[in-house]
Structure 1
Amino acid sequence: MIENWQHFLLPYQQAVNELKVKLRGMRKQYQEQGKHSPIEFVTGRVKPVDSIKEKMVRRHVQEDRLEQDMQDIAGLRIMCQFVEDIYVVVDLLRQRSDMTILEERDYVTNVKPSGYRSYHIVIEYPVQLVTGEKKILAEIQVRTLAMNFWATIEHSLNYKYQGAFPEELSARLQRAAEAAFRLDNEMSEIREEIKEAQTLFSQRTAAQPIKADDEQDKEKRQHNESSDL
């Protein structure tokens, strides 16, 4: 029986922290090379204890099998601008030697009946503890910003209805999911224009000198004073 959940979850928190740094580092490398990054931003979390216990009951997971049977105690989410970026990120993860991919589930191509879209990857990741190496499971979800918006709303509603959505609400969610995917497709059609514009903006921003805070504050005060006249 798990008596100290904080101790049990410590390796998972360490894995999340390390993976966030590594995945954000991939984005930084693209930016330093002046290239479009397939990674827009990265978030991560360790599943709360109450959520773990609820899922253990719902999925009939025995406590002594928790580390093997619950794949998303450590969870990372990678957001992308374009659908095409999702598969670029997946390929990048496949090439890494610091993690082992155990399972892939493509809900982008094989959309769920609810309308949910995302690419799920279950990895085995080694963390270095003072007691030695420990390999843990973590789940990485890769999705577009539009997919993430829909999934966040659906997740919130799921807490209210416990998965048993009213028929009309379920239909509306499905239509919203299709609308979000149409938006993704439209953005993909003009992605080269978008990427070029973003590159130009980044170059222009990088070329501008950074002013000292006191100079910026002075400019703000002068602007406010002139606005009052």
Structure 2
Amino acid sequence: MSRLATNSDFSEMVKRNLAPYQRLMTYYECAMMEIETKFRVLDAEFGLRYDRNPIESIKTRLKGTDSLAKKLNRKGFPLSVESIENNIFDVAGVRVVCTFPEDIFTLADALLAQDDITLVEKRDYVSNPKPSGYRSLHLIVETPIFLEKEKRLVKVEVQLRTISMNFWASLEHQLRYKKDLSEEMASQVSDELVKLAEDAASLDNRMQALRTYLDSQSPEQLESQN
């Protein structure tokens, strides 16, 4: 039976396999750069074509050793560098914060239409929010990275969300997991967070509707209303 990972076990494994581990993490960093560049190119193109940029910000992150150890342990995966590559698909992450809800799907479709991108998994928490209220579009994609003597396919998790979805998600983690909350208080906090998520979604939809209306107006129509 394969041994499961604990934090100390994982650290020891990394020490024993430092070169392969560092090499794998470098591959993930390169893949994140590839995906980030693709989104920046799309943002620049949209700016030229539609006179507006759909991307507010892009952030990348690489899972640390503690997170990797916990996930290997929780999922019951073997303790090895190969197990990380074969079983954990969100080691590398790219978060794209968009202006409007429509931008999420437009950018996702544009990324997936590229012939060197393969969709591995898609989870649409925008159309189907989590019970907690969480909203975001999650994609696991595979992208090639080109090294000196080889090409490797590397998986990256992409999260696309609006400004309000990102604001809610950032604060939700702080509020939901405050220490020493009673069971009753924790339940009240959860209920309020769901309501706030619905309010944020309503704001997104209203902003989207306003932008759609303005886009439908000709310059002459807009000028005549001044």
| Pairwise same-fold verdict (TM > 0.5) | yes
CA distance in 2, matches of 1:81, 1:130: 38
Query: What is the aligned partner in structure 1 of residue 44 from structure 2?
Result: 28
> Using a 3 Å threshold, how does the CA distance of structure 1 residues 194 and 69 change in structure 2: closer, same or farther?
farther
- Scaled by the length of structure 1, the TM-score of the pair is 0.76
| CA displacement at 1:159 relative to structure 2 | 5.6
Query: What is the aligned partner in structure 2 of residue 99 from structure 1?
Result: 117
Query: What is the aligned partner in structure 2 of residue 118 from structure 1?
Result: 136
Query: What is the aligned partner in structure 1 of residue 7 from structure 2?
Result: none
1:174 maps to which of 190, 194, 203 = 194
RMSD: 2.5
> What SS class does the counterpart of residue 33 from structure 1 fall into?
helix
- Identity across aligned pairs (percent)? 37
User: What runs of 5+ residues in structure 1 fail to find an aligned partner?
Assistant: 197-229
Q: CA offsets per residue over residues 70-114 of structure 1, 9 Å max, x none?
A: 111010111111111111112112211121111111111111100
| CA displacement at 1:119 relative to structure 2 | 0.6
CA distance in 2, matches of 1:160, 1:178: 22
| CA displacement at 1:152 relative to structure 2 | 1.4
| CA displacement at 1:145 relative to structure 2 | 0.7
2:77 matches 1:61: yes
> Using a 3 Å threshold, how does the CA distance of structure 1 residues 15 and 156 change in structure 2: closer, same or farther?
farther
CA distance in 2, matches of 1:49, 1:99: 27
Contact (CA 8 Å) 2:62, 2:93: kept in 1 or not? yes
> Using a 3 Å threshold, how does the CA distance of structure 1 residues 160 and 14 change in structure 2: closer, same or farther?
farther
2:62 matches 1:46: yes
2:206 maps to which of 167, 186, 191 = 186
2:157 matches 1:139: yes
| CA displacement at 1:181 relative to structure 2 | 0.7
- Scaled by the length of structure 2, the TM-score of the pair is 0.77
| CA displacement at 1:157 relative to structure 2 | 4.3
Q: Number of matched residues?
A: 196
Contact (CA 8 Å) 1:75, 1:138: kept in 2 or not? yes
| CA displacement at 1:32 relative to structure 2 | 2.8
Q: CA offsets per residue over residues 5-30 of structure 1, 9 Å max, x none?
A: 43331100111122212211110112
CA distance in 2, matches of 1:160, 1:58: 23
**Structure 2 letter corresponding to 1:27:** D
Query: What is the aligned partner in structure 2 of residue 225 from structure 1?
Result: none
User: What runs of 5+ residues in structure 2 fail to find an aligned partner?
Assistant: 1-12, 217-226
CA distance in 2, matches of 1:33, 1:8: 38
CA distance in 2, matches of 1:34, 1:179: 29
Contact (CA 8 Å) 2:42, 2:107: kept in 1 or not? no
Query: What is the aligned partner in structure 2 of residue 79 from structure 1?
Result: 97
